[in-house]
Amino acid sequence: MKKRIGIIGFGEMGKRHALEFRESTMGEIAIAGVVEPNDEMYENGCAWNKCDIPRYGSVEELLEKGAPDGILITSPNFTHLANLKKLDSFHGPILVEKPLDTSPEKISDIVRFVKQHKGPVMVDHCMRYSPIIRKARELIEKGAIGKVCSFQFTQRDGAGMYHNFRRTRAGGGGFMVEKATHDLDVMLFFTDARPESVMMVSAQHAVGGDKPDDLTCSECAERGRCRYAKESYVMKGLKVNDVAKLNELCVFAKCVDVPDNETCTIRLSNGIFGTYSHSYFVPVPGHSRIYEILGTEGAMYLTLSREGSYEGEIKIYPFNRELTTETLSFKYDGKIHYYAGPFLARHFLSLMKGETTPFTTVPQAFTAEMLGFAAIRSSMEGSRWVELSEIVPRDLADSIVGK
Ligand SMILES: NC(=O)c1ccc[n+]([C@@H]2O[C@H](COP(=O)([O-])OP(=O)(O)OC[C@H]3O[C@@H](n4cnc5c(N)ncnc54)[C@H](O)[C@@H]3O)[C@@H](O)[C@H]2O)c1
- The whole-angstrom separation of Cα 254 and Cα 99 is 24
Identify the CA nearest to 256 among candidates 237, 228, 218.
Answer: 228
Total number of domains in the chain: 2
Structural domain including 74 reads 3-126+343-359
Digit-coded pLDDT (tens) for 142-163 = 999 999 999 999 999 999 999 9
Clarify whether residues 132 and 122 are in a common domain: no
When pLDDT is cut at 50, 70 and 90, the band that residue 1 belongs to is: confident
CB neighbours of 16 closer than 8 A, spacing ≥ 6? 48, 241, 243, 336, 341
Clarify whether residues 174 and 317 are in a common domain: yes
Name residue 211's beta-bridge partners. 253
User: 38: Cβ below 6 Å to ligand 1?
Assistant: yes
Structure pTM? 0.95
Clarify whether residues 105 and 95 are in a common domain: yes
Mean residue pLDDT across the chain: 94
What average pLDDT does range 60-81 have in this prediction? 98
Identify the CA nearest to 125 among candidates 186, 71, 79, 73.
Answer: 186
Q: What is the CATH number of the domain that holds 159?
A: 3.30.360.10
- What's 62's DSSP letter? I
Q: Looking at the predicted structure, is the pLDDT value of residue 237 above 80?
A: no
Predicted confidence at residue 30, as pLDDT, reads: 98
Clarify whether residues 87 and 137 are in a common domain: no
5 three-class SS: strand
Q: Are strands 273-279 and 289-295 parallel, antiparallel or unpaired?
A: unpaired
Ligand 1 pocket test, candidate residues 7, 8, 13, most atoms within 8 A of CB:
13
User: 35: Cβ below 6 Å to ligand 1?
Assistant: yes
Clarify whether residues 28 and 63 are in a common domain: yes
Clarify whether residues 306 and 188 are in a common domain: yes
Whole-Å CA distances, 142 to 190, 271, 274:
12, 20, 21
Residue 79 lies in a domain: yes
User: 15: Cβ below 6 Å to ligand 1?
Assistant: no
User: 9: Cβ below 6 Å to ligand 1?
Assistant: yes
Ligand 1 pocket test, candidate residues 75, 249, 258, 360, most atoms within 8 A of CB:
75
Clarify whether residues 47 and 184 are in a common domain: no
Q: What is the CATH number of the domain that holds 85?
A: 3.40.50.720
Q: Give the lowest-confidence range in 134-143, 243-252, 304-313, 372-381.
A: 243-252
Residue 246 lies in a domain: no
Clarify whether residues 147 and 200 are in a common domain: yes
Clarify whether residues 165 and 55 are in a common domain: no
Residue 166 lies in a domain: yes
Clarify whether residues 278 and 384 are in a common domain: yes
Residue 234 lies in a domain: no
User: 336: Cβ below 6 Å to ligand 1?
Assistant: no
User: 59: Cβ below 6 Å to ligand 1?
Assistant: no
Residue 210 lies in a domain: no
Residue 113 lies in a domain: yes
Distance 322 CA to ligand 1 centre (A): 50
Residue nearest to atom 30 of ligand 1 (CA): 75
CB neighbours of 248 closer than 8 A, spacing ≥ 6? 163, 216, 217, 218, 229, 230
Digit-coded pLDDT (tens) for 325-334 = 999 999 999 8
Clarify whether residues 284 and 381 are in a common domain: yes
Residue 244 lies in a domain: no
Predicted confidence at residue 231, as pLDDT, reads: 62
User: 41: Cβ below 6 Å to ligand 1?
Assistant: yes
Distance 274 CA to ligand 1 centre (A): 31
In terms of Cβ atoms closer than 10 Å to its own Cβ (0-12, 13-18, 19+), residue 267 is middle
Ligand 1 pocket test, candidate residues 56, 58, 97, most atoms within 8 A of CB:
97
Give the chain's end-to-end CA distance (angstroms, integer).
41
When pLDDT is cut at 50, 70 and 90, the band that residue 246 belongs to is: low
- What's 64's DSSP letter? I
When pLDDT is cut at 50, 70 and 90, the band that residue 135 belongs to is: very high
Phi, psi angles (nearest 5°) of residue 178: -60, -45
Residue 232 lies in a domain: no
What average pLDDT does range 72-84 have in this prediction? 98
Clarify whether residues 353 and 296 are in a common domain: no
- The whole-angstrom separation of Cα 272 and Cα 188 is 11
305 CB-side CA count, 13 A:
25
User: 76: Cβ below 6 Å to ligand 1?
Assistant: yes
Q: How far is CA 4 from the centre of its chain?
A: 24
Predicted confidence at residue 321, as pLDDT, reads: 79
What average pLDDT does range 175-187 have in this prediction? 98
Residue nearest to atom 37 of ligand 1 (CA): 38
When pLDDT is cut at 50, 70 and 90, the band that residue 296 belongs to is: very high
